[in-house]
A and B are shown apart, each in its own frame.
Chain A
């Protein structure tokens, strides 16, 4: 019972809303973790604020016996920080690109109530290109993938995805298989 309850944290079928019966997910992409590490680093620094304040005002707090106020305000600070961390993590997690054997679904979560979802069918893809910019992106192997559809339509840009070359290959394989009718084997 408990084992099955916790199984959702170990195994998941990566299913999504609007998935067709015989549609399979080939790749689930999120931005490279480096992008969220920077924000987390900022929050880690912010978590030091009450400690620094406590050290700085220690004599004042002990003279006036106001440690209760200090600890309470610190707990409120950490509550706010906890919320901010998971707000960022939520936006990071929900910013996804789904590549299925039929289409590409780009979901951009700009805010908790600001979401943009774009869909592109494999047979409309004309060109795929990658762009790695700078030293960090080169070393950590992440960059932008641009998918070009018919000339009059807009470009799809997937920002800062890990291993953009592999993503490009997968999309090209999916497109080729859609045109030739031969099922692609993704490694």
Chain B
């Protein structure tokens, strides 16, 4: 696996880790400090949306032909 491809994969994995860390913080704040129904609803919607969007992003990432793209870019 070429060096650039490894860097790209690490960057994408790092991006997902950052995303889910911030998502956890938001979910924690909404459920821990939120008063009333509204924060719980927001937390549920956010969780559901995050799961769907992350799944879509992961599927698209697996279908990505990054080596071909990087070769094309370098030419």
Binding site for B on A (CB under 8 A): 8-12, 14-17, 28, 30, 64, 66, 68-69, 71-72, 75-76, 78-80, 82-83, 86-87, 89-90, 93-94, 96, 98, 109, 112
Contacts and interface: CB of A to CB of B under 8 A. Distances in A.
Given A12-B40, A28-B36, A76-B15, A90 B30 contact: yes
Nearest to A64: B72
B36 A14 contact: yes
Choose among B29, B35, B40 the residue with the greatest number of A CB atoms under 10 Å from its CB: B35
Contact of A112 (B29, B35, B63, B65): B29
Interface centre among A9, A87, A90 (most CB of B within 10 A): A90
A75 B53 contact: yes
A61 to B, nearest CB: 12
A90 B23 CA distance: 11
A76 B57 contact: yes
- Chain A at the B interface: SS class: helix
A78 B53 contact: yes
Given A75-B60, A82-B49, A9 B23 contact: no
Contacts of A86: 26, 42, 46
A94 B40 contact: no
Contacts of B44: 9
Contact of B60 (A11, A68, A87): A68
A140 to B, nearest CB: 19
A93 B72 contact: no
List 8 tightest A-B contacts by C-beta distance, closest first.
Answer: A75-B57, A72-B60, A86-B46, A12-B37, A93-B39, A79-B53, A14-B36, A75-B60
Given A75-B53, A86-B46, A112 B25 contact: yes
14 contacts: A16-B35, A66-B69, A69-B69, A71-B60, A72-B60, A75-B56, A79-B57, A83-B22, A86-B46, A87-B22, A90-B26, A93-B42, A94-B34, A109-B33
Interface of B: 15, 19, 22-23, 25-26, 29-30, 33-42, 44, 46, 49-50, 53-54, 56-57, 60-61, 63-65, 69, 72
Given A12-B37, A69-B69, A93-B39, A79 B19 contact: yes
Given A8-B40, A90-B42, 8 more contacts: A9-B44, A11-B37, A72-B57, A82-B49, A82-B53, A87-B22, A90-B30, A98-B35
B65 to A, nearest CB: 6
